[in-house]
Amino acid sequence: MCPVAFGQTKQRVDLIVSDATVVTMDKDHLLLKDGAVAVQGDAIVAVDTTAFIREHFVAGKIVDARGGLLLPGLINAHTHMGMSLLRGLAEDQSLSDWLNKYIFPAESRNVTPEFVKWSTQLSLLEMFRGGTTTVADMYYFEDTVAQTAKEAGMRGVLGETIIGFPAPDNKTLAAALQYTEQFLNHWKNDPLITPAVAPHSIYTCPEQILMDSAALARRYHAPILIHMAEAPFEIELSRHQHGQSTVQYLDRIGLLGPDVVGAHCIWVDHADIRTLASHGVGCSYNPSSNMKTAAGLMPAVDMLAANVAVGIGTDGAASNNNQDMFEEMDLAAKLQKFGHMDPTVLPAEQVVSMATITGARALHLDAEVGSLEVGKKADMIVIDTSAPHATPMYDVYAEIVYALKAEDVRTTIIGGKLVMEDRTMLTLDEKTILRKAAEYKEQIQASIKPKI
């Protein structure tokens, strides 16, 4: 609720979103049946009833959210936006074969800054339509990803990938570290972009690369993004080469810490979970991708019980095949219920938290985003609840997780700026993006046909 004292004069603000059921996701999970949010600049200045906001504020722009839900923007805790142009390229493969026989070769032949720009725009288009307002991304040419995301208005924790073989953007470790350091300097203190260092994984990065990447990140107080304990072959490799699980190995070499976000974290035991919790590592649960590649089921219930911050991610569209956080929320809940053979585990309210405030904690951004509270960034979405599949609504959280779809998102706001209003894109040229995607499909097919 709004803590500000007012006199007779209304306070002028930039934006008011009114007449909604406000799902705050604050510490009390406050729901306002007829609520509104006032925004000045990029921050929330009041969350209260519509009547209160109208009485005390006047805005240059009013968004009428009548009949809808207003909730914090969704946080995609792990993806690869630069891979959307590879959507559907290689299907029904094991993770190892998918990467080594298809994706890595296709990337080596096609990925350029221009490719990454258009692929990122395609991802952003899908994400804005589906209510994502913060994304954790790791890919090549991440400076191009950051510039593209910034221009469109997306908030992101964006990691330059460092990998143990010649990559599309950098052919040597020295070049990769130099590029990444320039990237960190370029984007430090940006209001939307948090630059990060992203050593790909223990199975693509020798120990020295992992340690050099972590040292660079910590020199700049930047986050570290890494694929962690993703598949059975990774655990076998770690035990064979290091005599330890992935998590224990990363702990031994000093990589783990409260600045780390681990993608997947599937093959972890109770000792690993305690280690992750003790270091404050955030983790991303990526149900669709993990099912499709048969990577395994993350023990998300146990991890949350141990106070590990677990967010929800889509992974890249090349392995999912979409970046739909509503689909991921639905699957996140149902997979855990099925895996435990217990319909009471991971209830809908907890899943919504994972996609908002807990996801923000996983990315170490919970002081800024993840809930609708005074002082936080004005990242929020309006969701229509009038469709047949959304009617009637008895429980707001169950509605969000089990009934609503990405296409129900009506308006997306990031840092107080509308990037989509009434389903009309405001910062992206949808027709051009889709045309370019079709052109790239022909190029990619031509490049791989003789090899695959």
Q: Residue 449: what pLDDT?
A: 58
Q: What CATH superfamily is the domain 11-72+372-421?
A: Urease, subunit C, domain 1 (2.30.40.10)
pLDDT tens figures, 377-397: 999 999 999 999 999 999 999
What b/e sequence results for 37-76 when a residue is b if at least 16 CB atoms lie within 10 Å of its CB, and e otherwise?
bbbbebebbbbbbbebbbebbebeebbebeebbbbbbbbb
Q: Percent of the chain, pLDDT > 90? A: 89
Contact criterion met (CB below 8 Å) for 76 and 132 = yes
| Spatial separation of the C-alpha atoms in residues 354 and 358, rounded to whole Å | 5
CB-CB neighbours of 301 under 10 Å: 17
* Structural domain spans, the chain: 11-72+372-421, 74-362
Q: Do domains 11-72+372-421 and 74-362 have the same CATH topology?
A: no
Q: Residue 452: what pLDDT?
A: 43
Whether residue 3 is predicted with pLDDT greater than 70 in this model: the reply is: no
Q: pLDDT category, 2, cuts 50, 70, 90?
A: low
Q: Does domain 74-362 have CATH number 3.20.20.140?
A: yes
Residues 15-36, mean pLDDT to the nearest whole number: 98
| Spatial separation of the C-alpha atoms in residues 443 and 260, rounded to whole Å | 36
Instruction: Write down the residue that tokens 């009617």 correspond to.
Output: 391
Q: pLDDT category, 5, cuts 50, 70, 90?
A: very low
Q: Residue 89: what pLDDT?
A: 80
Q: Residue 445: what pLDDT?
A: 82
Q: pLDDT category, 6, cuts 50, 70, 90?
A: very low
Q: Percent of the chain, pLDDT > 70? A: 97
Q: Residue 73: what pLDDT?
A: 98
| Spatial separation of the C-alpha atoms in residues 312 and 285, rounded to whole Å | 5
Q: What is the value of pTM for the model shown? A: 0.95
